[in-house]
């Protein structure tokens, strides 16, 4: 079996090559796909960490921001102390430590006082609001039980 020879005139080689290239790339293929289906509000997939700060609890996030702020504040206080000592050639480091350290001591004392006050407030029992309609008898006694000894002896005390 012999194939017929194709005779292409000399001037049409470039046009024929371009036609074959265009024909090969004429098939349109999608270069991307966008899924437009709405995502569920709650799914079974675990959360994916996002770039930036690592995932942590709200308390840890608050503590982290507080530490960053305290670090920036201490940097400013130290820098200003350095500038004062540099500006006055005869500045006493002990005096500068007292002047720039006093606000930090006051802040620490106030923070400790606030923490103790918060503990006292949290330890206080929550108020009980009861609303009744009609005749009601309220008995708010409590019973405390203690078990002591080798042979168990229960003693119930009625508290008032």
User: Across all residues in the chain, what is the average pLDDT?
Assistant: 78
Q: Is the dihedral of CA 152, 156, 157, 160 positive or negative?
A: positive
> How many separate domains does the chain show?
1
Residue 91, C-beta contacts closer than 8 angstroms, at least 6 positions apart: 84, 85
Which residue range(s) make up the domain with 98? Answer: 63-123
Q: 70 in a domain, yes or no?
A: yes
144 — phi, psi (to 5°)? -110, 125
User: Is residue 96 situated within a structural domain?
Assistant: yes
Is residue 145 domain-resident? no
In a domain, 97, yes or no: yes
Instruction: Read off the pLDDT of residues 54-94 as tens digits, 9 standing for 90 and up.
Output: 778 888 888 889 999 989 988 888 888 778 777 877 777 77
Q: Does residue 28 lie within any of the structural domains?
A: no
Residue 67, in any domain of the structure:
yes
What parts of the chain have a pLDDT lower than 70?
1-11, 27-30, 159-160
Give the model confidence (pLDDT) of 79-89 as tens digits: 887 787 778 77
**Is 68 part of a structural domain of the chain?**
yes
Rounded Cα distance, 105 and 111, in Å:
10
The pLDDT value recorded for residue 84 is: 78
């Amino acid at each position: 079996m012999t194939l017929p020879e194709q005779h292409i005139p000399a001037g049409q080689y470039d046009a024929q090559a371009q036609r074959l290239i265009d024909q090969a790339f004429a098939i349109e293929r999608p270069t991307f796909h966008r899924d437009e289906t709405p995502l569920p509000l709650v799914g079974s997939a675990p959360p994916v960490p996002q770039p930036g700060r690592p995932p942590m609890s709200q308390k840890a996030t608050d503590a982290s921001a507080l530490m960053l702020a305290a670090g920036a504040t201490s940097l400013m206080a130290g820098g200003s102390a350095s500038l004062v000592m540099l500006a006055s050639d005869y500045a006493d480091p002990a005096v500068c430590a007292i002047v720039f350290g006093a606000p930090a001591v006051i802040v620490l004392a106030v923070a400790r006082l606030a923490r103790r006050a918060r503990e006292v407030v949290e330890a206080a029992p929550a108020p009980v609001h009861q609303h009744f309609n009609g005749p009601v008898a309220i008995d708010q006694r409590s019973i405390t039980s203690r078990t002591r000894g080798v042979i168990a002896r229960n003693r119930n005390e009625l508290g008032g």
